[in-house]
Amino acid sequence: MKIAIISPGPFSVPPVKGSSVEHDIDEVTKMIDPEHQVTIYTRTCAAYPKSAVEENRQFIRFPYHGPKPYLRRIIQHLQKHKPDVIMVENRPIYVLAIKRKLPSIPVFVNMHSHVYGSQAIISKEKMRKVVRLASGFFTNSEFLRRHFMKSCNIPAHKIHAVHLGVDVTPYQVARIHYAIRKLRKQIGLSPEDRVLLYAGRLMRAKGVHVLLEAFREVSRQDPLARLVIVGGTGYGSNRLNPYVRELHRLAKPLGDKVKFVNFVPTAEMPLYYQLGDIVATPSVWKEAFCRVNLEAMASGKPVITSPRGGIGEVVKHQESGFLLAPRRWKKELPAIWEFLWSAPAVRAEMSKNAVMRAKQFSWYATAQGYLHVFEKVLNKQTAVPIPKEPLRKTG
């Protein structure tokens, strides 16, 4: 099967600055069986050549000066090298232009969140047309699947929930890495500090302000508690916007108990997860999946997270972590923190459960989920209908 994958365009594949959709494309395509040919369309980038071949993956890169010229160049290439299926990543609007030029090729849309299917980005009329023209949709959680079924009237048989994966190996290797002690010292952590770690973008939807307000209560009862916040305002950006300034104001009364670390590239994150004893993700919006929880569990870290959106499909309450509604963090986080530190055997068991849970989410399983749907649609297209025999008169 010849598979074409179209990345959104603003970031490169593989990602240089840690962008999540592009990270997913890179990881899952590595796991597609070698008998399939995969072409990944992405933007040009100083870090990579204009085109490259890695085993059964080919990268074709075009300049990105906005979606229209970027997509136009991709469509021209697709017309010359007709694939069997096309996967559009997180940009349903692209389907309309693709199907105008390549009407007979099945096009799928992989939705990574609700954003690019919302009316703020695409009109209801255009989204209805995309639903009609697309051969199928993928989401990274059952929660997001149900959301699009309801909001866009996508038939149940046409939209498939396929969880994202994680490669546990680099996170487990990092647990015994010699550089952990040096990194802790560099950030200002002492050996006896008990560390709660946040990793991710600094945006209100992620609930970092909820975490800071709750941590203030934790620090009152535990003088050894420290909060490390790893991330910037965006992928590769450490801009001090109004929300980040608000976070620094909330942290100021806590002094050196709160450490801010700027954006860290994806490849370096396994080591940074080892700074934390416990990882916190207090999302206040309906997260489609929340990759940080999966990476934290791969690192052997219990997570304290929110039950919003698809998070509960990944984190099992009181097994690999705790699901705590954002409004309850300030009141209940101190009790959970005290419990985890007063019961080291429970914390160790949660750590073991976290790794076991993370191992259930592999990139190979994600790839197989996509391939199964592709093959089903292609087989249906090529199936030769059996003509019905005319009814014979009897008597």
Helix orientation angle between 242-251 and 208-221, rounded to the nearest 10 degrees: 10
Residue 221 CA to residue 161 CA, distance in Å, equals: 42
And the tokens for 91?
A: 């940009």
pLDDT value at residue 291: 95
CATH superfamily name and code, 168-358: Glycogen Phosphorylase B; (3.40.50.2000)
- 280, 211 in Cβ contact below 8 A? yes
Residue 186 CA to residue 165 CA, distance in Å, equals: 31
pLDDT value at residue 130: 98
Task: Write down the domain spans for the chain.
Answer: 2-165+362-379, 168-358
Residue 280 CA to residue 145 CA, distance in Å, equals: 25
User: According to the 3-state scheme, what is the secondary structure of 24-64?
Assistant: HHHHHHHCCCCCCEEEEEEECCCCCCCEEEECCEEEEEECC
Q: What is the DSSP letter of 133?
A: H
pLDDT value at residue 306: 97
Residue 110 CA to residue 21 CA, distance in Å, equals: 10
Beta-bridge partner residues of 38? 3, 57
* Cβ neighbours of residue 62 closer than 8 Å, sequence gap 6 or more: 41, 43, 44, 70, 73, 74
Residue 252's φ and ψ, nearest 5 degrees, are -55, -45
Residue 134's φ and ψ, nearest 5 degrees, are -70, 145
Strands in 240-393 per DSSP E: 258-261, 278-281, 303-305, 321-323
pLDDT value at residue 19: 87
- 220, 293 in Cβ contact below 8 A? no
* pTM across the whole model: 0.92
Give me the helices (H) in 88-207, please: 94-101, 124-133, 142-151, 168-174, 179-187
Q: What is the DSSP letter of 386?
A: P
Query: Residue 294, Cα to own-chain centre: how many angstroms?
Result: 9
Single out the residue of 238, 339, 326 nearest to residue 18, CA to CA: 238
pLDDT value at residue 391: 54
CATH of domain 2-165+362-379: 3.40.50.2000
- Per-residue pLDDT 10s for the chain (395 aa) are 999 999 999 999 999 887 899 999 999 999 999 999 999 999 999 999 999 999 999 999 999 999 999 999 999 999 999 999 999 999 999 999 999 999 999 999 999 999 999 999 999 999 999 999 999 999 999 999 999 999 999 999 999 999 999 999 999 999 999 999 999 999 999 999 999 999 999 999 999 999 999 999 999 999 999 999 999 998 777 888 999 999 999 999 999 999 999 999 889 999 999 999 999 999 999 999 999 999 999 999 999 999 999 999 999 999 999 999 999 999 999 999 999 999 999 999 999 999 999 999 999 999 999 999 999 999 988 765 556 665 555 44
